[in-house]
Every structure is written in C-alpha cells, then in structure tokens.
Amino acid sequence: MEFASALKIAAVPFYMAQAAECALFEHAYRERLPLLIKGPTGCGKTRFVEHMAARLGRPLVTVSCHDDLSAADLVGRHLIADGDTVWCDGPLTRAVRSGAICYLDEVVEARKDTTVVLHPLADDRRVLPIERTGELLPAAPGFMLVISYNPGYQNLLKSLKPSTRQRFVALSFGYPAPEVEQRIVEAEAGADAALAATLVRLAQALRRLTDHDLEETVSTRLLVVAARLVRAGLPLQAACQAAIVDALTDDAETAAALGELTRAVI
C-alpha cells in the first residue's frame, strides 16, 4: 500500500532504553493493547515510538494534537473534488485500515469529541465507527494506538477521563538516568564523553532547583541541542544560554539565576 510504505521507517532510529519499556511495548503490541505514555517534554517519548514502530516493522502515523483538533481531523471528511463529493480518510482511519501504529502526541490537547472515536478502538472491539459514512471499520491486525501526554501541563479541564485512561496500558517516562542520558547526548550530538558528562551534570543541577517558576525543567532534547551547538563551534557557555537557559524561561530574573547556576557548574 502506497501510504503504508511511504511512512515505513527504513532504519531503526537510535533509542537508548531507560528501563524495560521496549519489552512492555512489544507485549502490548502482540496483545493488541493500546498504550499511554506519560512524561515531560523532550524525554524521548516520540523517539521511543519511532524506534518501536521500526523494530516491529510497522508504518507509523503521528498526529501532534492541538486544541483545535477534532474527531473529523482524525477520522476524515467529505471533500469536494471536480464537483464531486469524495470521502477522504483522516490519519487515524488510514492507520486503522492499513495496520499502522498511530501515535497521538499530547492527546489531552485535542477537542473532547476525539475521545469518543478512540474508545471503541481502544478496547477489545478494535473498531472505528465512521459516523459520516456509516462505516464500522475493524482495525487491521497490525494496528496499534499509542497516545502520550505530559502530566506537568495538566489542569483539571485538560486531563484524560478515567473511562479513557483505563482502556490503555500506561507507561511513565522520566528523564533518563545520568549515565544513560550521557550516552544519548554522545550519540545524538556526536559529543565527546567530557562534553556530554558536563551537560548532564548541568541538567542534574537545574532539575534539582525547585523554587523557580518554570513550567518545565531542562530536557534531554535541550542537552542534545546544546551539545550540537558546541560541536558546531559555539563556546559552551553561549550554547547553554541559548539552548537551555533562554529556552526554559522568558523571565529575566529566572534567566539570570539559571545562568549563574550554569556558570557555576560548567
């Protein structure tokens, strides 16, 4: 199928496991169970799903959810083409039909009507009701639903309903252990061990800070970016300022405090 092959990931993307999450994913896939991944931004959720999809030989359909995303955006809609009305599958429907892994990133951002279409797919029915065409589409054997969200961003209005979350096997991600994170920075940025170790030490120090008004602390993603800037020739301090401090806050006082801590550590 053209769609499926287009999205098949040729090589298995590098992923350094934090614990036994790869085995859990594989068991969930084989048992046809949907998976919910919780964790802060930049801790490797997307890479993990890309890695597992490639390992399992499944095409991957990723949807970044936002507050305007509706059920029709996922399922599909009628479009007018050459004066005719034609049905056009949305990304979820394409994944269900072709047996792909469908990854809905930051699913709690999406509009509430999206959960209605997920429920029959996420329990043992494994069907997608397409209201507008009257089709009740059974999921192809390789189909797997994976959703993620960041509990740090949640408020009472934006969280998963118990009836939704209880349909999913849950996996909690945190930032990797220092030795794992160091190897990720080395591999992803081509950084040497000393640079990677310094950045991981800085991350540890920044993550220990509690009395600041940051929405989120430094992620593995930011460490990789800082290391890449250094590899490209930027001095370490400037790289940390641009990739980490200024990425974390807009507040001048907080930035000054983080900058000071950065200078003390690196």
Q: Interface residues with ligand ADP (CB under 6 A)? A: 14-16, 39, 41-47, 176, 184, 188, 220-221, 224
Note the Cα 68 to chain centre separation in Å. 18
Per DSSP, the three-state class of 172 is strand
User: Which residue, 15 or 143, has its beta carbon nearer to ligand ADP?
Assistant: 15
Q: How far is the CB of 126 from ligand ADP (least distance, A)?
A: 25
Cβ proximity to ligand ADP, 48 vs 76, nearer residue = 48
**Cross-strand pairs, 136:** 129
Give the pair of three-digit tokens for residue 97.
Answer: 């039909």
Q: How far is the CB of 153 from ligand ADP (least distance, A)?
A: 12
Which residue lies nearer to ligand ADP by CB, 127 or 242?
Answer: 242
Residue 46 to residue 14: CA distance in whole angstroms: 12
Alpha-carbon distances of 128 from 115, 116, 135, 153, rounded to whole Å: 12, 10, 8, 29
**Which residue's Cβ has the minimum distance to ligand ADP?**
44
Min separation Cβ 86 and ligand ADP, Å = 34
Q: CB 17 → ligand ADP: shortest distance, Å?
A: 7
Euclidean distance between CA atoms 165 and 176, whole angstroms: 24
Label residues 170-187 b or e (16+ Cβ within 10 Å = b). Answer: ebebebbeeebbbbbbbe
Minimum distance from residue 52 beta carbon to ligand ADP (Å): 12
- Closer to ligand ADP by CB, 187 or 209: give it: 187
14 versus 87: smaller Cβ distance to ligand ADP: 14
Considering only CA atoms, which of 108, 113, 117, 111 is closest in space to residue 158? 108
- Least distance in angstroms from the C-beta of 176 to ligand ADP: 6
Cβ nearer to ligand ADP, comparing 39 with 91: 39
